[in-house]
Structure 1
Amino acid sequence: MSQFHLSRRSPDEEFPDLGRNYTWMGRILTPAMYRRQFHRCTNSGVIFDDVIRPGLEEPGHWSGPVSVGCAAGDAESYILFCDFFDRVIESHHGHKITSRTPESDFNHDNLKGGDDLDRSYAVRCEVSVVRGVEDFCFSTHCSRGERRQLLTLARKALQRLEEEEALPGRLLLLQDLSPEQQRELNLNSPSASQLRIGVARDWPDARAVWASTDGGLVVWINMEDHLRLVSTRDDANITEAFKRLYVNLQKLGGFYRELRHPFTWKQQLGWVSSSPADVGTGLRIRVHLRLQHLPQHNRLQDVLKRLRICMDTTESPALYAVSNAATFGLSEVALTQLVLDGVKLLIAMEMRLEGGGNIEELVPTQK
């Protein structure tokens, strides 16, 4: 069952056209590398063409951000195709893979200044993390049966979280939600790309969302990953959002271990899921900032690069989402502190520009 006898030509005949591909996959993949990967297949049937399909479907644009352009079909993909994945991970995250176990730090007491962001600028914050579950294929490759079993595991683990930790919440199956309810949960229909690469197969079968009664903690099940936990706060208190996320993540991790399906961990990479962009910590810290002057400044992109953070537009005018650019190479607390310090500097720059001043002396040296 693991080996599929596809009708394919030679590696040289099958090599994709990467002439206008602006992903990391497109930059890194060579005919020689493709030949080395071509006949390999994981035990669950993932071949190398499955891995690079996302980048072929979405080749990117020369002026846009560089995406990884690939996805792991299962945890074994990171081992079997390591000479490819390691280069993508190092290029995307800007950090060398070594034999050392990635550093980990969930202690929110080590965060400095996460509860004092200027509310005139910081509107809200969101801290999220993705996790893969051991012994299951990832979203691009898993079967209907696997997806349904993952939902069953999540239901059991979340029920224990509710009962043992006194955390009331409700599990909602997507197939039971009306369009209005889906909009309230900020749930978008699958994109054409997600359908093409298999992430949204059989939608919305076995997809669900668990939401705490107060709405501050949400768990997405079988969306783009096995699990995605999201902690949000409207007071932009990143420390409290981080604390709530990781306290409950660690408890869920314990329940999954007791169910004999722990979260997926690789010695040199840390936590892994479908995308190489999320290896290491799987952590995303996002702060919504109200900015008027800084987004138009000609030094902004240079500042963001030096701070190792990203800034994207939102649906609201003059509201921008600032987040970490990488998830690998730093601990959870260090990544969160990186975003915190960056946000405070962006706010200081915005205040300087509001007063007609110059921000040159605030521009950080290259980190």
Structure 2
Amino acid sequence: MDPNVVAKLESGWCSLASSGSKSLIKKYLTKEVLEDLKRQKTSFGSTLLDCVRSGFEHHDSGVGIYAPDAEAYTVFAPIFDPIIEDYHKGFKPTDIHPAQDWGDVNALGNLDGENKYVISTRVRCARSLVGYPFNPLLTEVQYKDIEEKVSSTLDGLAGDLKGEFYPLTDMSKEVQQKLIDDHFLFKEGDRFLQAANASRFWPTGRGIFHNRDKTFLVWCNEEDHLRLISMQMGGNLGEVYKRLVTAVNDVEKTLAFSHHDRLGFLTFCPTNLGTTIRASVHIQLPKLAANKAKLEEVAAKYSLQVRGTRGEHTDAEGGVYDISNKRRMGLTEYQAVKEMYDGIKELIKIEKQS
């Protein structure tokens, strides 16, 4: 082990421990756990420092830890397991995530038949390719290799999923900004990801795929190797969910994804394991928005996460919130989406009665 790595871990830990941070990494990275893990390495070469550098740099992190490769969840289990249990509402080290189950794709309907509240609906999942580390350890060649595998697989999609892959390296700034403004494309600059070493060689190996109607998108090498996204205007969650399930099943025929018997699908961030499903709406709730405490209270009851219009670490623009299921582990894909469905229905009901 490089003594510089150990020294950075020790000084970073002392700084975090003496800070007012409320992060999960501060809560669970005790001196004993640090001593236990500070000289460990995965076969990809990642260390504890690769996991915690973002939380060490940003004491205002909510979680503060990322996995630099799939093995990190096992090698550094003494720190990942308690954080996973805390964030995922009691998913204990002895618990096993259920097998993939999309349920009845025709069972979910429209959240907002009146078209008064839900502006748009989106369901996405993340996937990591077997045999590659995650962002902090990817070489420039590996970024390009993943991009090639992903783009060639997506070129084979048919029907309403058929579309085109656009590498960021060939994309004009104008087109890039238009896609960002339309909430289609990811952007560089998240300080938490940058501190985690997740933005190396930007924009090499990054790209976006979308079908003709821009109702199905794939992000390549943003935070995870793959983000598969189904979205459309309005509140018809049933249509959005069915499209995503079809797409994931088609892509899985060609690409092998990193999966753990206990934790489910593995990704860069421990908040996004298991199903990795995030079902969300952009929704206007003016009365509830005026009473943020009430909004947060109802959201918590249904395990929903309330974020700004453009996602995490952003503000609500024009009173529009991004609200999604928070739980990803210990339940099936269908159950995760149904949890969001039930919670949004309840929020709309309260908004109408307010």
**TM-score computed with the length of structure 2 as normaliser:** 0.89
1:277 is aligned, of 267, 271, 278, to 271
Residue 254 in structure 1 maps to residue 253 in structure 2: yes
Change in CA separation of 1:13 and 1:57 when aligned onto 2, cut-off 3 Å: closer
- Cα deviation for residue 100 of structure 1 reads 3.2
Structure 2 unmatched ranges of 5 or more: 310-315
Aligned counterpart, 1:264: 258
Structure 1: runs of 5+ lacking an equivalent: 62-66, 257-261, 354-367
Per-residue deviation at 1:166?
Answer: 6.9
Q: Residue type matched to 1:227 in 2?
A: L
SS class of match (2:157): helix
The counterpart of 1:173, out of the listed 163, 167, 171, is 167
1:213 aligns with 2:212: yes
Tell me the equivalent position of 2:50.
50
Counterpart for residue 231 of structure 1:
230
Alignment of 1:1-367 (within 5 A): 6=4, 8-9=6-7, 15-18=13-16, 19-60=19-60, 67-97=62-92, 98-109=94-105, 111-114=107-110, 117-162=113-158, 167-186=161-180, 187=185, 188-256=187-255, 262-297=256-291, 298-314=293-309, 316-353=317-354
C-alpha spacing 1:136/1:294, structure 2 compared with 1 (3 Å): same
- 1:296/1:213 Cα in 2 relative to 1: closer, same or farther (>3 Å)? same
> 1:361 is matched with which residue?
none
* Deviation of 1:143 (Å): 1.2
CA contact (8 A) 1:117 1:344 kept: no
Q: Does structure 1 retain, via aligned residues, the 8 Å contact 2:67–2:73?
A: yes
Q: Secondary structure at the match of 1:255?
A: coil
Q: Deviations over 1:61-104 (max 9, x none)?
A: 7xxxxx32101010000110112111111101103233534243
How much has 1:114 moved relative to structure 2?
4.2
**What percentage of residue pairs aligned between the two structures are identical?**
26
What residue identity is the alignment partner of 1:124? Answer: S
In structure 2, how many angstroms separate the alpha carbons of the residues matched to 1:168 and 1:301?
A: 39
* Contact kept? 1:217, 1:231, Cα under 8 Å: yes
Which amino acid in the other structure matches residue 334 of structure 2?
V
Q: Which moved more, 1:334-343 or 1:89-98?
A: 89-98
AA paired with 1:145?
V
Instruction: Tell me the equivalent position of 1:356.
Output: none
Range with bigger deviation, 28-37 or 118-127: 118-127
SS of match in other structure, 2:126: strand
Q: Give the drift of 1:308.
A: 0.8
- Relative to structure 1, the CA distance from residue 73 to residue 12 in structure 2 (aligned partners, 3 Å threshold; closer, same or farther) is closer
Distance 2:320 2:8 in 1: 51
2:300 alignment partner AA: K
Deviation at 1:11, TM superposition (A): 7.0
Residue equivalent to 1:363: none
State the one-letter code of the partner of 2:243: R
What displacement does 1:307 show? 1.4
1:360 maps to what in 2? none
CA distance in 2, matches of 1:95, 1:117: 35
CA distance in 1, matches of 2:32, 2:9: 9
| 1:357 corresponds to | none
With normalisation by structure 1, the TM-score equals 0.86
2:313 paired residue number: none
Q: Which amino acid aligns with 2:122?
A: E
CA distance in 2, matches of 1:176, 1:283: 30
Moved more, 108-117 or 83-92: 108-117
TM-superposed CA distance for 1:184, in Å, is 1.8
SS in 2 for 1:293: helix
Root-mean-square deviation (CA), in Å? 2.1
Instruction: Summarize the Cα distance change of 1:290–1:7 in structure 2 as closer, same or farther, 3 Å threshold.
Output: closer
Instruction: Specify the alignment match of 1:259 in structure 2.
Output: none
CA change 1:120–1:42 in 2 (3 A) is same
Distance 2:114 2:265 in 1: 33
For residue 135 of structure 2, give the secondary structure of its aligned residue in structure 1: coil
Larger Rg: 1
- Aligned equivalents of 2:12 and 2:300: distance in 1? 37
Q: Are 1:111 and 1:337, in contact at CA under 8 Å, matched by a contact in 2?
A: no
Between the aligned partners of 1:7 and 1:121, the Cα distance in structure 2 is 50
Structure 2: which amino acid aligns with 1:169? G
